[in-house]
Amino acid sequence: MLTLFFTLFGLTMIAQFSNPYPIPSFNIPVDSGYARFQENIHPINADAPLGKRDAHVIITSRGPETSGCQAQVWLYSLDGLDILGPYTVMCGETLTVEIDERAWGVLVQTEYDVLVDVWIE
């Protein structure tokens, strides 16, 4: 429970100091730090079918050194009820996480210079 508190606190602090990139976004440079991505907030359409979706995150190295290149990735519902992760994603790999119909955000933290792709289908 304490870990969840600190994770939520950390996400809240980052959210206050950075504007999110929209989902989908492709080839977003992240220089040894954080990047935040969010779906547009939309009301749930009562006529829309409820179901699962897949969130995809690809991390690609921007530098010549790819050995050990990785990022930590969290997915969070914009209503604040769920946080998924952290997931460790190596450069060149694709993370796919099943999510529900709510609006979601993605937080990427890395110590490397990377490009990030995020989309949901």
CATH code for the domain in which residue 98 is found? 2.60.120
Q: What percent of the chain has pLDDT above 70?
A: 78
State the SS3 of the chain: CHHHHHHHHHHHHHHHHCCCEECCEEEEEEECCEEEEECCCCCCCCCCCCCCEEEEEEEEECCCCCCCCEEEEEEEECCCCCEEEEEEEECCCEEEEEECCCCEEEEEEECCEEEEEEEEC
Residue 24 in any domain: the answer is: yes
Residue 4's pLDDT band (cuts 50, 70, 90): low
Residue 95 in any domain: the answer is: yes
Output the pTM of the full model: 0.81
Residue 36's pLDDT band (cuts 50, 70, 90): very high
Question: How many domains in the chain?
Answer: 1
Residue 46 in any domain: the answer is: no
Residue 59 in any domain: the answer is: yes
What is the domain extent for residue 36? Answer: 2-41+51-120
Residue 104 in any domain: the answer is: yes
Residue 84's pLDDT band (cuts 50, 70, 90): very high
